[in-house]
Structure 1
Amino acid sequence: MADATDSHGSKPPRTDAAASREIRFRGGGFRPQSNRWAGIAVFIVLIALVEIGLRQGWISALTLPRPSAVGATLWQLWESGNLTRHLFPSLSRLAVGGAMGALAGIAIGVAIGLFGLARAGLVPLVAAIFPIPKIALLPLFVIWFGIGEGSKYALIALGTFTPTVVATFGAVDNVDRTLIRMGQSFGLTWWSIVRKIVLPGAMPGILSGLRVSLAIAIILLVAAEMLGAQAGIGAYILEAGSLYDLDRLFAGVVILSALGVTLSWAMGLLEKRVLRWRA
C-alpha cells in the first residue's frame, strides 16, 4: 500500500511516537523473552502423564518406575545422607577435571586464533583427537594414571578440552576484522587490541562452547565413575542397574539432570555478568 502524502505530494513528517516504535522493534524485536513457567509446566505435564499411565496400566512397570516412587527414593537418599556421599565426590571430580580441560582449551584456542604458527602446528592435532570417543580412552588412562582419581580427572579434562579449543579459536576467528583495523588505526598496541577487542568479541562463542563442554563432562563423569569408584553418581547408577532397581536408577538419572540444569543456570548467570555490554 502506498504511503500517505499531503496536498503537495510530499510525505507527512513522522511523529515521535512512530519513530520510537520502529527503534524499539529494531532494537528488541528479536530479543528472546524468558518464561520460566513454561518449562516448569512441561515437566509437570510429562511427569503427570507418566504417573497416570503407570497407575492405569498403559505403561509397563517393567520399563519405567512411577515418578512418585522415584521422588520417595530421592527423599530417602537425602534423609540417609547417601545423596551427599555420592554427590560431593562427583562434584569434586567434575570441578577439577572440567576446570583443567576448560582452562587449557581456552588458552590453546586463543593461541590458535592469534598465532599462525600455533594454528599450523596444533589444528591438525586437535582435529585428530576431537573425533575419538573419549570413553574409549578410559582403559588407557587407567594404565597411565591408575584406577584412582587421576584417570577420572584425565578423562573429564580431555573430554572438556577438545570442544573448548574448537569453540574458542572459532570465536576468535569470527571477531569483526573491521574493529581490529579500527583499533590499529587509533594506534592501539597488540595487547590492547587483544584485551579490548578480540577477547570481548570472542567471549559469546567461548561461553557457548563451555556449555557444550560441561554437558560432555557430565557424560564422561558417569562413565569414569562406573569403573573403580566406591562413591559417585555413576557408581550409584551402576549399582542400581546391576540390581535392576528402576527406582534408584531413575533417581540417579534425575540427580544428573538436576546437575545439568544447575550448571546451565550458572552459565547463564556468568554470561549475563560477562556479556553485560550486549544488553
Structure 2
Amino acid sequence: MLDAQIPPAVRTTNGNVATPKRGFPKPLSYAVNLLLLPTVLTLIWWGLAGILHSAVFPGPWESFQGLIQDFGREEYRASIEITLILLVVGLIAAIALGALVGFALGMSQFWAAVFATPISAFYSIPLVTLYPIFLIFLGIGYESRVVFAFFHSFFPMALLVMVATASIDKNYLKLADVLVLPWYVRLRKILIPALLPALVTAIRVSYGLTLLGLLLAGMISATNGLGHELVLNIAQVRLDHIMGQLLLIIIIAVIPGLLLRALETRVTSKYQPE
C-alpha cells in the first residue's frame, strides 16, 4: 500500500526507492558558489567604507567610478593593451619552453632526479630580487618585463610537467615497445592523455605567476602598463583609482583562472586514471 504511493520517478531500475536530490540545479548551484564569495567580500568592503568614510577608504561605487575615469584616458587604455600583449607573449613562451624542458627531463629518471632539486631551490628565491640583473642585460623596456614574467612561470611549468612525465606508468611504454608503435601513436595514445591533466594544471598556475611577474616589473621600471599606472595612482594618493585598478587586475587574474580551473576539472575527470 505504501509502495503504491511512491512516485515512479523516484524508483531506480532495480525497483529500489531512490532518495530525491534536493538543492539547486547543477548550473545554478555552480553560479551561486561562484558569486557567493565576491558578494560577501563586496558587502564587507561596502561596510568598512561606510565605517571608515569613503574619503579615507573608498567603497565599491567610488572605486568603480575611479576606474571609469581611468578608462577615459588614452594612456590608460594603451597600458591595458600593452600589459595584455606582454602577458600573452610571456605565458605562451613559458608554456611552450617549460613543457618541452619538463617533458625532456621527465623522460629520463636520472635527469629528473638531477634537476628536480635545483629547479625547486632556484624557484624558492624571490625573483624580484634578481630583477636588476634583467635590467642590466635587457635594459628598461618591453624585453626585460616579458623575460622577467617568463621566468616567473617557466620553472613551475617545467617542474610540474617533469614530475608528471616521470610518473607515467612505464608498463604502457613497455607495451608500446613490444608492439613497436610509431612515436606519433605513442604521443597520441599514451603520453598526451597521461600528461594532459598535469599540463592544464601547470598552465593555470603559470598564468597567475606570469601576470604577477609582469605587474612587479611594471611597478619597478616601466613607463607604461598596469604596473606603472598603479604606481602613479599610489604616488598621487588617488585611493579610488587605486582600488578601481585593483578591481581590474583581479578581473584579469580571476576570470581566465576560473576558466582554466573549469577546464582542469573537466580534463582531470576525463583522463585521470581511477
Q: TM-score, normalised to structure 1's length?
A: 0.78
Q: 1:139 to 1:62 in 2, by over 3 A?
A: farther
Matches within 5 A, 1:191-202: 192-202=185-195
The residue number in structure 1 matching 2:201 is: 208
What is the deviation of 1:123? 3.8
In the TM superposition, what whole-angstrom CA distance separates every residue of 1:193-237 from its partner, at most 9, and x where no partner exists?
244212221110121122111111111111111133222110111
Matched, 1:40 2:35: yes
Distance 2:77 2:62 in 1: 20
The residue number in structure 2 matching 1:109 is: 102
User: With CA pairs under 8 Å and 6+ residues apart, which has the higher RCO, 1 or 2?
Assistant: 2
Q: Paired residue for 1:133, among 117, 126, 141?
A: 126
The residue number in structure 1 matching 2:245 is: 252
Distance 2:124 2:44 in 1: 39
Q: 1:84 to 1:266 in 2, by over 3 A?
A: farther
Give the residue type in structure 1 aligned to 2:194: G
Q: Between the two proteins, what is the percent identity of the paired residues?
A: 22
Q: TM-score, normalised to structure 2's length?
A: 0.80
The residue number in structure 2 matching 1:92 is: 85
What is the deviation of 1:269? 6.4
What is the deviation of 1:84? 2.0
Segment drifting more, 94-103 vs 174-183: 174-183
Size of the aligned set, in residue pairs, is 254
Distance 1:268 1:34 in 2: 17
Distance 1:61 1:192 in 2: 62
Query: How much is the aligned-residue C-alpha RMSD, in angstroms?
Result: 3.1
Give the residue type in structure 2 aligned to 1:36: A
- The gaps in structure 2 that reach 5 residues or longer are 1-11, 19-25
- The gaps in structure 1 that reach 5 residues or longer are 1-14, 22-30
Distance 2:188 2:138 in 1: 37
Matched, 1:183 2:180: no
